Amino acid sequence: MSDPDWDRWVHASIARHFELAVETTAFPMFVETEHRNTSVATGNNVKGKDLFELRIDGPRSTELSSNYWELYTEINVLIQSTMDDDDSHRLLRSVGSVKAAFSIIQIFKFGDGVNDDQTLLGCMKILMDPRRREHLETHMLGQIGDDTELTQAMVEGHYKMCLRT
């Protein structure tokens, strides 16, 4: 049986990984389902409209053999940027910052419960296999509406980690 803490540890570790990876940008990052205050402008963040939103699907747990598990997780980051006549590459620079964060992700037992000892559980590795359509993808979504000057893009990657229990 899979560990009931795996989902929580995976989500917390991925969120922490991306928070640290994009903290050098002037744009805030939100994890899907978090409350976000986009009314405040910070740094180059025009009217609080520029942001990253982290979305995590999974992990999907599969017991490959007795007590040997594979955890498969899909991660995508929505990037939103204000259109800027002086900087037509604004969105693409943000895409580049996010893509650079798609690297090996250490999964720790984060939390304050009995089993949450902050130790390393394992490492999630990005899958790169074009035969299985596993690669780091960028989707340029463009302007989100005629009445707004916001553009969006998405970066998506799939990860796998194997564990012995």
The owner of tokens 């929505």 is: 78
The owner of tokens 């800027």 is: 84
Report the topology of domain 6-164: STM4215-like (3.30.2000)
Residue among 61, 86, 81, 97 nearest 141 (CA):
81
DSSP 85-153: TT-TTHHHHHHHHHHHH-S-EEEE--SSSTT----EEEEEEE--BGGGTBS-EEEEEEES-TT--EEEE
Classify the C-alpha dihedral 80-86-92-94 as positive or negative. Answer: negative
Tokens of 91: 């969105």
The pTM (predicted TM-score) of the whole model is 0.87
| pLDDT for the residue numbered 41 | 45
Task: Return the axis-axis angle of helices 90-101 and 6-22, rounded to nearest 10°.
Answer: 130
For the chain of 165 residues, list the mean pLDDT of each consecutive stretch of 10.
91 95 79 67 56 94 96 96 83 91 96 92 94 89 86 96 94
Contact predicate 161/120, CB 8 Å: no
